[in-house]
Amino acid sequence: MPTDIREAQLAEIVDKVQGIEREVAKVMVGQQDAIRQVLLCLISGGHVLLEGVPGLGKTLLVRSLSQVLGLKFARIQFTPDLMPADIVGTNIMTETEEGRGFQFQAGAIFANLVLADEINRATPKTQSALLEAMQERTVSVAGITRALPNPFFVLATQNPLEMEGTYPLPEAQLDRFLFKVMVGFPSAEDLKSILTMTTTEQSVEPENVVDGEGLARLIKVAQHIPVADHVTDYIVRLLLATHPEQPGADERIKKYVRYGASPRGAQAILTTARIRALLDGRFNVAFEDVFAVALPALRHRMFINFEGEAEGVTTDMLVRELLESVPK
């Protein structure tokens, strides 16, 4: 690819993503890290799981992104009585001039950007309805497979598992989220800004920056960013280090980890590190890019055993330790 085209594409990506960040930040105060991590996932073509206590603006973040990106938006409020057919759709009996027949009525999942709100309040059976959609971008109902719109993203929010009325997500479904993003509590200064915005008549609406086709072009360009072998080798070593059964595994990993991260964890690190390098004005992936994305890419793909839970060990702690101990 000629250098001038590469530079033009880099400038377009940086300009578009910075514009998206500015518009979302108008209504999402004090969550710059969360906004950046979500954008890294979207430009990589992946899904995002947002976790935080109620009231931190997780739903507002997703809704604002749909406005800024110009994508068809659908919200599914997950509750214990939600059924799989409410998500994917079902066949209903209809009357036509030719007689009675079944017609497919599409569910809310047939949108570009799907907000699965409080996903861990639904039963595991209902949560599993998203598995095929998130991996294959298709939905199968009554033996017929239907393609979902392109692009297609699931941005799910969940409350911490310690809260009342929550169900843990199945491991297979967690693995389909490219990132798990933690939405933290705002600082005193940010909280003051939030109060000013939400308790007065002033209204801020984010503006559209790019459409679905433009987002698809950004995704395509990002796939061509080269990654040096030594960086790829480090990502492989980092992923293998999360597995307690691997030769030479760290003692804390052996003691506290039940299962290590799947190969999707390495894919998530590599694809999002490419985007981060681009946004930093580089056409090559550095170790600093890997360090920046490893935590949200791996924290939900490692599973702590009973001993680790009893001692208060978290996957965040272990990933940080591995980033310091795994040789480059």
Report the DSSP beta bridge partners of residue 146: 139
pLDDT at residue 196, as a whole number:
72
DSSP for residue 122: S
First CA to last CA across the chain, in angstroms?
30
Confidence of residue 151 (pLDDT cuts 50, 70, 90): confident
pTM value is 0.86
Antiparallel, parallel or unpaired: β 138-141 and 144-147:
antiparallel
Distance CA 326, CA 235 (A): 10
- What pLDDT, on a 0 to 100 scale, did the predictor assign at position 201? 63
**In the numeric block, which tokens belong to residue 82?**
């939600």
User: Which single residue is written with the structure tokens 């894919």?
Assistant: 267
Confidence of residue 2 (pLDDT cuts 50, 70, 90): very low
Q: Using the structure block, give the residue that is written with the tokens 């935590």.
A: 295
| CA–CA separation, 133 and 154 (whole Å) | 9
User: Which segment of 142-146, 236-240, 310-314 scores lowest on mean pLDDT?
Assistant: 142-146
Least confident residue range of 79-88, 177-186, 205-214, 258-267: 205-214
- Domain extents for the chain? 1-196+212-224, 226-328
Helix axes 32-43, 3-27, angle to 10 degrees: 140
Closest C-alpha among 246, 280, 269 to residue 319: 269
Statement: residue 303 has pLDDT above 50: yes
Which residue in 146, 210, 162 sits closest to 314, CA to CA? Answer: 162
In the numeric block, which tokens belong to residue 171? 């491991």
Report how far residue 287's alpha carbon sits from residue 321's, in angstroms, rounded to the nearest whole number.
16
Which residue from 302, 283, 252, 317 is spatially nearest to 11, judged by alpha carbons?
283
Of 4-13, 35-44, 140-149, 274-283, which range is least confident?
A: 4-13
The architecture (CATH level 2) of 226-328 comes to Orthogonal Bundle (1.10)
Q: Which of 181-195, 220-234, 245-259 shows the lowest mean pLDDT across its residues?
A: 181-195
10 Å Cβ neighbour count for 10? 17
Q: 85-110 pLDDT, tens per residue?
A: 889 888 787 776 777 777 778 888 99
* CATH tag for 1-196+212-224 (out of 3.40.50.300, 2.40.50.140, 1.25.40.10, 3.40.1160.10): 3.40.50.300
- Phi, psi (rounded to 5 degrees) for 138: -135, 165
